[in-house]
Amino acid sequence: MESDKIVLSGMVFYGYHGVLPEEKTLGQRYVVDLEVEADLHTAGISDTLSDAINYAEAYQTVKEIMEGPPKNLLESVAENVAQRVLSRFAITAVRVRVTKPSPPIPGAVMSGATIEVYRKR
C-alpha cells in the first residue's frame, strides 16, 4: 500500500563535512532531499497546521545538521538527518539523500556523489 509523503527537494546548505583537511576548513555546498512518510489524512481533512508536518521545522532540522559540527562521512551526515527527523516528527519512515556536488575525487562526476538512506520507525 502506498503511503502519504512529504518531499522537500533541492535544499542547499554550506557545510564542512569530509575526510580531507580542506573540506573541513574551506567547506562546500551540499544538496539534500528529504522524503517523509506519514499519514496526511487528518491534516488533509482539518486543513490545520497542527495536524500536519511543518515544512519549515523539517527544513530547520536538516539545516542544524548540515551546517552543524563536521562529520567525516556523508553516510554519517545522512544517518544523523534521518534519526533526527524520525525523532522530531510523527512520521513512519524517512528517506534522506545528501549530495556533494563537487566531490574531491580525480575525474569528473557531473552530478556529484550522493548517499541515500531509508529508515523506518
Q: Which of 24, 63, 71, 100 does the annotation list as catalytic?
A: 100
Q: Which three cell numbers stand for residue 108?
A: 569528473
Q: Which of 115, 59, 66, 68 is nearest to 88 (CA)?
A: 59
What gap in Å lies between CA 32 and CA 15, rounded to an integer? Answer: 12
Residue with cell 536538516: 62
What gap in Å lies between CA 91 and CA 104, rounded to an integer? Answer: 35
Q: Which three cell numbers stand for residue 62?
A: 536538516
Q: Is 100 a catalytic residue?
A: yes
Q: Which residues are catalytic?
A: 100
